[in-house]
Every structure is written in C-alpha cells, then in structure tokens.
Structure 1
Amino acid sequence: MTSLQDSEIFERNAEPGSLSAAARALDITPAAASATLKRLEARLQVPLFVRSTRSLRLTRDGEHFLAHSKPALDALREAVDGLASIGHAVQGPLQLAAPSDLGRNLLLPWLAEFHAQHPALSFRLYLSDRMADLYSLPLDLAVRYGEPADSSLIALPLAPGNRRVLCASPDWVARHDKLKHPDDIRPHDALCYVTGPGEADVLDRWRLRRGKEQVAVRVRVAHVSNDGDVVRRWAIAGLGIAYKSRLDIAADLAAGRLVELLPSWQGEAAPLHLMCANQRLLNPAVSVLRDFIAERCRALLQ
C-alpha cells in the first residue's frame, strides 16, 4: 500500500510534468521528490515516468495508476476540508451544566433563542446546584457562580460584576418595618440555600458593605433548600428575606414580584463564568455562545 504523501507527490509530478515545479508546490526539495517517486516505483514494481533531463512524462502504467489514485486523493481532500468546516461551524451537540435557578428561568429561554439563530447546534442541558465535575462527567461546559476554585479549568467571564442582593416580596415589605441597616435582618425569617447535608452547609451568614463599613449578619434560618429556584419562589410567596444573585432575580425585580432591600448596601460578589476543562473545547460554537450569554447578562443587569 502506498502512503498518502507518496501518492500526492506522484500526482503533483504528473500534472506539471516537472520535478522541480512539483517540489516547489509541495515545499520539498527536488531530491526528496525524486527519491519518493523511485520508492513508489520500487513498491509498485513498474516504471511510472519516463525521465529526461528537463521533464517527466507518464508511462502507460503511470497513467493507469493516476486514473485510480486521483479520485481517492480528491475524496480524502474533501473529507479533510469537511472536517475543517465543521471545526469552524456553530453546530452541536453541546453538553452544558448550569445552576437550577439560572438554568430554568434564564438559560432555558436564552438557549431557545440561540438555537433559532444557529439551528445546527443542539444542547444537552443538565440543571443542578451541585458542582458538576467537568473531568469525570460527559460535559463540554458548565455555567458557574463565584470565583473559580480550580485553577486548571478555563473560565470565560459572563457577568463579572454580578453581586448578591437582599430581597423580599412586596407583601412581605408591606407587613414589616423598613430595614435601615443589615443588623435589622436578624429577627426576620431568612430563606437560605444549603450546599450539603449538614447544618454547617447552610449559607446563613450574609455579608454586605457600604463604603468602608462591612457587616456579616448571622440570619435566623426559617426555610432551607438545596435548590436556588425554590429559595427564589419562597421569597416571591412572601415567606421571608432571601439573599440571591441579582441575575437570578433581575426579572422579578423588574416585574415587581420582588423588592430589593437595603439598596445602598452592596452584597457579596457573585461573578458568573462559563467553564471548560480543556483549551481544545473552545471551538467557534463555544465562543459565539459565550458572547451571546454575556450580552444577555449585561442587558439584564442594566
């Protein structure tokens, strides 16, 4: 069996009829091209060219071999070009993990809009507030809040300026005295997110700052869930105060379903990133998707 390189050098020499011209086209030396042709003739055990000092011409065996090898080379080139076009196309499937609240209420409609623009791209969306392991699970990407803890992962910023917000329903606000300072939260029912099975996993210490003043409030836990969307729904239902990512509740604030409390106080940073485990996964589809989500986040936070 002949190698691909040998066959291509043979084809190139057959077309221009000059060894030096074929060598220039392939960016090799005439000596290397000549040695390849001799090796190919030895392997096939037939002369492929009639040589002179200035040119080459095909023998009948050479013409026969060219007639069969050229279609095969053309098909291979077409396959390689096809792979290159796939690598530059926005198409899928794309396997993506995201937090439950952000995934259901924001990412789901955004991905539907994105798919309408790029119908060749399909999604496999996994929603969970547990940290998805990009190394062991069949995932391409993960949308995550917070600063990346694993420095080996690649983090593409989506909403770097996002922060947590104190919020409650208009009904709750109407039933309680106005909060003037973070310490005023302490006697009220807090709706908390939990990251694990133990009491120590309940996020019941809420940190806020105003200028140089910083306060960490240990809240009175009323209801707890490991699902961020449940905490948001409890807040809308008027069950207490929540400390949520502004992205998660931006639409609720705009629609009046929730009210921001202590707006002069700044909550903790909650930057949003698009994470992947390998540089090779940063294909055009990921790049376009990242820009799309980042733009939607900017518009929502404004």
Structure 2
Amino acid sequence: MLEAMEQFVKVIELGSFSAAASVLGKTPSTLTRRLDQLEHELGVKLLVRSTRHLELTPDGEQFYSQCQGIVSAVGQVKESFRKPREVVEGMLQITTFDTFGREMLAPLLPEFRQRYPDVRIGLSLENRMEDLYESNADLAVRYGRPEDSNLIYRPLLDMSAVLVAGPDYLAKHPPLTSPEDLRQHPCLAFLRPRQFTWWYFKKGNETRKVRIDPVLASKGGAPLLIWARENQGITIVSRVFAEHDLKAGRLVELLPSWQPSLTEQGDAMIYLTWKASSAKRPVVRAMVDFLVERVS
C-alpha cells in the first residue's frame, strides 16, 4: 500500500503517468495498473483520466491530501538513515523569464549556495520559450504546463495578473468602467513584433477580448512596472510583482471585478520544468525542492 501511495502522489505532483514513471524507474503502464488496483482496494474512483489530462475526484483529493502527509513522513525517516548522503555539487543552468528571474529567483540563489557551496549556477533571463532539449538548461521556470509529456514539471506559484496604473495618471484621465474603455487609454504591454496585442478579461462566465495598441512595449515585465509608476499609462502585470506598489499607493488596481490575463487560456501558474535525464542529478532535485520551499 505504501508503494502505491508514493506512486499515486508522484503521478499527481508531476501531472502525468509518463513523467512519474521516468522519475520512479517504472513504465507508465505499470503505474496505471497499480492505480487501478489501488482504486479497487479502496472501492472508490481516485482519478478521471484522459489522454491529455488527469483530474482528481473528490475522493481522490481527500486520499491525495492524506497520502502527502504519510509519504512525506516516511521520506523524512528514510532520509535520516540514508548514508552516505547525496553530494550536491556541479554546474546548474537555469532559464526563466526576466521579471521572475530578477525579482524572485536571483535574490534566492546566494541562499542556495550557502546550503550547497560546491554548486555553480548559470542564470539565463530569456523572455521566450527555450527548448530544453536543444539548450544547456537543466531547469526552466515558465508559464503554463509543458505540452511535451516527456518533460517533468511541478507547479511553483500562482502568477494571476492585475490591471494597474499610477494615481497621477488616473487623476488626469477618464475612469475605466469596462475593459472596452482601454481603447481610449495609452497602454503599456509586452513587445510582440508584427503581432496584434490582445488583453483578455473574465468575470464569472463573461469574457472580453480587447485589442491594445501599446504606446510603450517591452520584452520583460520590469519596464512595464517602471512606466506605470511614472504614470505613462495602464498595464497588466503579475500581482506578485505589483503587490508592494499597490500597498504603497504607487499603483492603483483597475476593474477589480474583472480578472485580466495576457492569454486566452488564462493559465497564470508558473511551473518548474526539467528533462527526465536532469532528474537524475542531485543538484537539480535539490534546486527543485529549494524553490518549492522558498517560493511556493
């Protein structure tokens, strides 16, 4: 039963049978059969499975929550008796988008090296989707689940967006009453050469799609925050990065009843993503555990 619980937890954490199988040294079919046996033993349905998606049932959510505590406790006991301990050392290459890298990841890396002084880290701040199979990156931090089922991923942080502007800007311009009013305002947006820029909004079951013609555009989010503070217009940024400015009054949230998004899907979660081959390296596993501990 314990092994089945460990396998079940790993499947849910990584989001697919193939990813869990790579980490556990099993085949996806073995994990599928074991889950069938587990559901039979418990007499309940734990997962609703399709070719591209796994969804916990209410019984599955309750069982997963209980399994997490048991598996974690057993893991701590195993770790306390595991000798010799894995040596965390060597080069680690990380790729992420500019704002997260500057604001959150870079300040944490010295703390990681204090724990593991024999590790060297290379950090790439690229506002594009880097192919992990063609790059030197061991670990990526990116928006949305990877579509490649051979990649391993773990949710890290909800990056839900917020629509903001500076108070001086708002004092000199008409108020917003709906997303469509943005067409009458200068907007600050991510740079999309040769593409139209669309912002998406959702309120309950109602959705809106508004085309934006930005007066200032940037590949990264940091300049958007700077320009908004300087009252240059309205922008969408992750709430995590705007929180201090909102609390200090340097920025004001607009249309709070609408949830803004830069994508039609509205997936605001960022994920740690890595190749199955990288999962074998202790330094990669150590960094994943560290970021989940310090960021999540």
Whether the TM-score (by the shorter chain) exceeds 0.5 is yes
2:156 equivalent to 1:138:
no
Structure 2 counterpart of 1:234: 227
Letter in 2 for 1:102: F
2:170 equivalent to 1:173:
yes
Identity %, equivalent residues: 39
- Inter-partner Cα distance in structure 2 for 1:189 and 1:267: 17
- What TM-score, normalized by structure 2, do the two folds share? 0.63
- 2:214 match: secondary structure: strand
C-alpha distance after superposition, 1:151-190 (max 9, x if no partner): 332221101x332221122322333333222122221011
Structure 1 counterpart of 2:216: 223
What displacement does 1:282 show? 5.1
- Alpha-carbon distance change, 208 to 294 in structure 1, aligned in 2, over 3 angstroms: farther
Aligned counterpart in structure 2 of residue 191 of structure 1, from 188, 192, 200: 188
- Alpha-carbon distance change, 252 to 107 in structure 1, aligned in 2, over 3 angstroms: farther
Letter in 2 for 1:248: F
Larger radius of gyration between Structure 1 and Structure 2: 1
- Inter-partner Cα distance in structure 1 for 2:181 and 2:217: 20
- Inter-partner Cα distance in structure 2 for 1:121 and 1:170: 45
Aligned counterpart in structure 1 of residue 203 of structure 2, from 197, 210, 224: 210
- Inter-partner Cα distance in structure 2 for 1:270 and 1:175: 31
- 1:243 match: secondary structure: strand
Paired residues for 1:144-163 under 5 Å: 144-159=142-157, 161-163=158-160
- Inter-partner Cα distance in structure 1 for 2:252 and 2:87: 43
- What TM-score, normalized by structure 1, do the two folds share? 0.62
Aligned counterpart in structure 1 of residue 127 of structure 2, from 109, 114, 129: 129
2:245 equivalent to 1:252:
yes
- 1:294 match: secondary structure: helix
- Alpha-carbon distance change, 162 to 233 in structure 1, aligned in 2, over 3 angstroms: same
- Inter-partner Cα distance in structure 2 for 1:253 and 1:288: 34
Aligned counterpart in structure 1 of residue 161 of structure 2, from 147, 161, 164: 164
- Alpha-carbon distance change, 223 to 283 in structure 1, aligned in 2, over 3 angstroms: same
Q: Does structure 2 retain, via aligned residues, the 8 Å contact 1:101–1:228?
A: yes
- Alpha-carbon distance change, 113 to 280 in structure 1, aligned in 2, over 3 angstroms: closer
Structure 2 gap segments, 5+ residues each: 1-82, 262-266
C-alpha distance after superposition, 1:6-61 (max 9, x if no partner): xxxxxxxxxxxxxxxxxxxxxxxxxxxxxxxxxxxxxxxxxxxxxxxxxxxxxxxx
- Alpha-carbon distance change, 241 to 218 in structure 1, aligned in 2, over 3 angstroms: same
- Inter-partner Cα distance in structure 1 for 2:149 and 2:108: 28
- 2:149 match: secondary structure: coil
C-alpha distance after superposition, 1:83-112 (max 9, x if no partner): x957x2333321101111111122111222
- Inter-partner Cα distance in structure 2 for 1:85 and 1:175: 66
- Inter-partner Cα distance in structure 1 for 2:109 and 2:253: 28
RMSD: 2.4
Q: Does structure 1 retain, via aligned residues, the 8 Å contact 2:138–2:284?
A: no
Q: Does structure 1 retain, via aligned residues, the 8 Å contact 2:162–2:238?
A: yes
- 1:173 match: secondary structure: helix
What displacement does 1:213 show? 1.5
Letter in 1 for 2:92: L
Q: Does structure 2 retain, via aligned residues, the 8 Å contact 1:154–1:279?
A: no
What displacement does 1:295 show? 4.2
Structure 2 counterpart of 1:273: 271
- Alpha-carbon distance change, 289 to 174 in structure 1, aligned in 2, over 3 angstroms: farther
- Inter-partner Cα distance in structure 1 for 2:126 and 2:110: 19
What displacement does 1:245 show? 2.2
Q: Does structure 2 retain, via aligned residues, the 8 Å contact 1:164–1:267?
A: yes
Paired residues for 1:3-152 under 5 Å: 88-152=86-150
- Inter-partner Cα distance in structure 2 for 1:129 and 1:205: 18
Letter in 1 for 2:190: Y
Q: Does structure 2 retain, via aligned residues, the 8 Å contact 1:166–1:261?
A: yes
Q: Does structure 2 retain, via aligned residues, the 8 Å contact 1:96–1:139?
A: yes
- Alpha-carbon distance change, 172 to 138 in structure 1, aligned in 2, over 3 angstroms: same
- Alpha-carbon distance change, 113 to 264 in structure 1, aligned in 2, over 3 angstroms: farther
